[in-house]
Structure 1
Amino acid sequence: MGAVGLLYVGAVLFINGMMLLKKIDPRAAGIFNLFVGGLQVITPTVLIIANLANPAQILGASGIYLFGFTYLYVGINLLGGFDSTGVGYFSLFVAIMAMGYAYANFRLLGDPAFGVIWLYWGFLWFLFFVLLGLKHEQITRYTGWVTAIQGWVTAAIPAFLILTGYWRNTNLIAFILAVFGVVVFIGLWPLTRGREPAVAAPSEEAMGDRTHRPRWT
């Protein structure tokens, strides 16, 4: 069941990445964030209830709430047009907790591949903190690309491999993911700097309240 939820985490990360790259309207992305956020709250609840005597399963399921609450928070933010600072600082909390879950996967759960994936997520949610919490909008394009790529590399593809029984040799997968992440995310930095997508002039309807603040970027 966790792999099913992970598949749709890949979808929402890809959509949010495209939104940051100005390919998708924020309100349209907000609706899908609510769908996936709801799924990512229901899924760990069911997993925990079904595994009350299994601390390892509870540990693994507990981290899913971090994403469920993120997507619900983002969806409400986008649809309501609220300031993004709260999402940004919650993302800092998620980024810090991701380090703990990475350690747990490496040392306690014996899953180095997901240990690396949690490091990916910690990096991504730290970017959300810098972008949304600290308002450094110059990293919008970089964050958009990292988000979209991570949607596939950390969620959609691993979920599909798990569901089809091909998620094997996690040591090798961890090594491949680590090398890919370092090369791609370092390489993206100079390619995206100074090339932020143009922001269209807001309509009068969207500017109905002159104190209206950016919703996600």
Structure 2
Amino acid sequence: MSAVGLLYVGAVLFLNGLMLLGRIDGKSAGVFNLFIGAMQVITPFYMIFTSGGDVWTIFQASGIFLFGLTYLYVGITNLQGLDASGVGWYSLWVAVLAVGYAAMNFLHFHDEKFGLIWLMWSFLWTLFFVLLALKRNIGTFVGWVTLIQAWVTATIPAFLILIGEWERIGAGVTEAAAGLTVVAYGIAYALTRWKAPRGVEVSS
């Protein structure tokens, strides 16, 4: 995923997190989901068309589609007032595949940082499945996790990549950041007690 694309993934996760917390109207957030979804579908098509058949470039492009299609699906669902269960079941499929992408980052690309980020995305999309497909009352918790991931998995990494500082971050810092993120999830869980606000619409 390009650094610019990743930066705006942070933006859409930020807005969707606020939507789940009842701070943003679902239709308003849906419009922005369409913008980012379109960008995250056009970009991988370009990567594939210009890859020259390189297997790993195509593999990396395929991962971007997972998110681009999520945001398009969310945008259309919100704007049309559709039931969100389809988004939820799609999120389960994404969550399973994200584990595979994490494994390839660890084992093939030897990239611990993005391996951990993919695992975090798998966790988040699993929560979307539980919220939207299984209809569990965890909207507030998922909203906070989405807000945390907006910064930890997208906005901050993208900004560091753009200014050329990402490669200077060592394994120790990465593992510490991952540990603190898990602690933040635990605090969010304890504070919210899995209670969702009323009037919250779908998010991913």
Identity of aligned residues (%): 54
Instruction: Identify if the C-alpha distance between structure 1 residues 18 and 52 changes in structure 2 by more than 3 Å, giving closer, same or farther.
Output: same
Partner Cα distance (1:177, 1:45) in 2: 32
TM-score where L is the length of structure 1: 0.88
Is residue 2:120 matched to residue 1:120?
yes
Counterpart for residue 178 of structure 2? 178
Alpha-carbon shift at residue 56 of structure 1 (Å): 2.2
Partner Cα distance (2:98, 2:195) in 1: 29
SS in 2 for 1:63: helix
Counterpart for residue 65 of structure 2? 65
Instruction: Identify if the C-alpha distance between structure 1 residues 176 and 52 changes in structure 2 by more than 3 Å, giving closer, same or farther.
Output: farther
SS in 1 for 2:166: coil
Is residue 2:104 matched to residue 1:104?
yes
**Deviating more after overlay: 182-191 vs 25-34:** 182-191
Counterpart for residue 29 of structure 2? 29
How many residues are matched? Answer: 202
RMSD: 1.6
Answer whether contact 1:105 1:115 (CA < 8 A) is retained: yes
Is residue 2:141 matched to residue 1:148?
no
Counterpart for residue 202 of structure 2? 216
Partner Cα distance (1:114, 1:42) in 2: 22
Answer whether contact 1:37 1:72 (CA < 8 A) is retained: yes
Instruction: Identify if the C-alpha distance between structure 1 residues 194 and 159 changes in structure 2 by more than 3 Å, giving closer, same or farther.
Output: closer
Counterpart for residue 41 of structure 1? 41
Instruction: Identify if the C-alpha distance between structure 1 residues 97 and 18 changes in structure 2 by more than 3 Å, giving closer, same or farther.
Output: same
Gaps of 5+ in 2: none
Counterpart for residue 196 of structure 1? 196
Instruction: Identify if the C-alpha distance between structure 1 residues 97 and 173 changes in structure 2 by more than 3 Å, giving closer, same or farther.
Output: farther
Q: Which has the larger radius of gyration?
A: 1
Instruction: Identify if the C-alpha distance between structure 1 residues 172 and 45 changes in structure 2 by more than 3 Å, giving closer, same or farther.
Output: farther
Deviations 1:35-68 (A, max 9, x none): 0000000111112222234322222221000000
Counterpart code for 1:216: V
TM-score where L is the length of structure 2: 0.93
Alpha-carbon shift at residue 215 of structure 1 (Å): 4.8
